[in-house]
A and B are shown apart, each in its own frame.
Chain A
């Protein structure tokens, strides 16, 4: 924090320094854990059953995102073109 000069002599914003980014990961990890643990104290009113499982929002949201990114990757394999495709 006290030294804004990086080893290569280039001063950079505190937000992008490796130490800050490491701290951000740690804080994020704690926040993620807390939001899941809140399920222990908050009373849910599940409509279907599956939404009453422990940490439902967490695991379902994570799994859904992984699935969507992988599916997008597959779509990309077939449909991606250079962005000059329509130029010529």
Chain B
């Protein structure tokens, strides 16, 4: 009885449950919002290892529910995130956002538990639709951003689908397991995964679209798409060397753009790319240590990034402002939001005793074990850079900096509770990493808290902080954006599209005119002979009929006498 109940696909609880949300009101709606993720969490936790569901589709055997340590780790943190996000968004009046967010979270869980490529693709596309709707539901300027977001993700989906089709055609198998990027089809799959991870050259979809979502929407958005992509890379392409330079590029791209950014949530969006870059680098290194590090870092990152975005979302909701130049000094009236933001900022910076410290350092250890000195140095420099662009910059410009004169009150109690919950996770995992390590895909042979490591990390971070305050003049925020690759499709791309539109419209017009001309001649000719005025068309007048009948009868008479 319980066995059959626990075999229910956890993804479906959220996806189908979401459809009932619009029917619910008040306390029942709140209860459903909190219970659906909790039931999902319980189901994920109690599913046994192995494939527990088999389906047949077009002659292929699908395994839509296949569990191992890696998929369980990601599904667990996705379910935790769905709960924390729902708690934070409890008072979000736009139910469509919550429906979309639950379908999005559910399909992310479905994607990481998919045992075959076809199931993975189906959940992948539901994620694209769900996340687009989360952005779209914010209305206003978010609509255009959502449209651009959808196009990028459907391009990614097409690449992935083409790759999957090629892979199935070549191998005859729909299994999703570790592979090398040696065939064009696998290259396409890798490209599809990397687009969702926020890798270059299309990474701008993330910083373009996410910050346009609502105060609660971005909390959900930050968690699922990029981390599902990290999961697929760990599962499908571990040790693929190209991922090391790609990941390092993402790491530094995120830092540089975040340093230049003025919008507090766009800073955090660039910082998502930065953090996913660490994970992608770890997948590229590909040892058990590095893969454990990438998986652990995905887990901790989802939690502290959501915490940072809850802090930013609270500020956005209570002040209506999102630019650093408009904010500052909010620590006076929003102490809990401020402290939560600081805890998230310390965790993202891998400060000792926070979750980031115990996860990110495994990736660096992986590089050191493989004697990759340049990679290790780049990761160390980037760790300092994370403190600079997110760890200090976000709390400093939002909560300190200057007195903006704003005196917003703390957000409602459910939002505060969500922040306290995630802050507790950040510190709890940092103080006692054992339970997280036990969940990782490979056995952990790593001790994060050695005196040498703690001292090194403190030096790195504190001197990064010193650099921040010494260079504060260079870091002053301005009312600017920094052009990114989205410029390509928002300016020349849009122009090209308009030009194509004009050419195709005028070409079509010419074609229509030409064919109208030809058809017109035919029509006119037919009309002149068969039309109402035509010789052969139209009703003939009775008089004429009678006349011609008389003429013919007369002719007949004459002929009969001849």
- Where the two chains meet, the residues of A that have a C-beta atom closer than 8 Å to any C-beta of B are 12-13, 15-16, 28, 31-32, 35-36, 38-39, 42-45, 47-48, 50-51, 55-62, 64-73, 75-76, 79-83, 85-86
Contact = CB atoms under 8 A, between A and B. Distances in A.
Contact of A69 (B373, B462, B471, B483): B471
Contacts of A50: 373, 377
| Chain A interface SS verdict (over half) | helix
Contacts of B456: 44, 51, 56-57
Interface stretch (B168-176, B474-482, B506-514): B474-482
Given A60-B384, A67-B381, A82-B479, 5 more contacts: A42-B455, A60-B381, A61-B383, A69-B467, A83-B480
A80 B468 CA distance: 21
A73 B257 CA distance: 10
A49 to B, nearest CB: 9
A35 B381 contact: no
Contacts of A72: 255-256, 259-260
Contacts of B459: 35-36, 39, 55-58, 61
B533 interface: no
B7 interface: no
A61 B461 contact: yes
Q: Which of A16, A64, A76 has the most CB of B within 10 A?
A: A64
Interface residues of B, number: 51
Nearest to B365: A47
Interface string B64-95: 00000000000000000000000000000000
B451 A42 contact: yes
B51 interface: no
Given A31-B462, A32-B463, A68-B255, A38 B455 contact: yes
Contact of B466 (A28, A38, A39): A28
Q: Which of B263, B385, B457, B490 has the most CB of A within 10 A?
A: B385
Given A60-B460, A64-B381, A69-B259, A80 B482 contact: yes
Contacts of A55: 459
Nearest to B456: A57
B403 interface: yes
Interface of B: 252, 255-256, 259-260, 262-263, 323, 329, 331-332, 368, 371, 373, 376-377, 380-381, 383-385, 388, 400, 403, 451-452, 455-468, 471, 474-475, 478-484, 490
B273 to A, nearest CB: 15
Q: Which of B329, B331, B403, B458 has the most CB of A within 10 A?
A: B458
Nearest to A78: B483
B81 to A, nearest CB: 30
A58 B397 CA distance: 24
Contacts of B332: 13
A35 B331 CA distance: 28
A83 B481 contact: yes
B382 to A, nearest CB: 8
B385 A44 contact: no
Q: Which of A15, A28, A35 has the most CB of B within 10 A?
A: A35
Leading 10 A-B pairs by shortest Cβ distance: A57-B459, A65-B467, A64-B381, A61-B460, A61-B384, A72-B259, A58-B459, A57-B460, A62-B463, A47-B368
A57 B387 CA distance: 13
Nearest to A36: B459
B262 A44 contact: no
Given A44-B456, A79-B483, A82-B479, A32 B260 contact: no
Contacts of A35: 455, 458-459, 462
Contacts of B465: 28
A9 B462 CA distance: 35
B475 A69 contact: yes
A44 B451 CA distance: 8
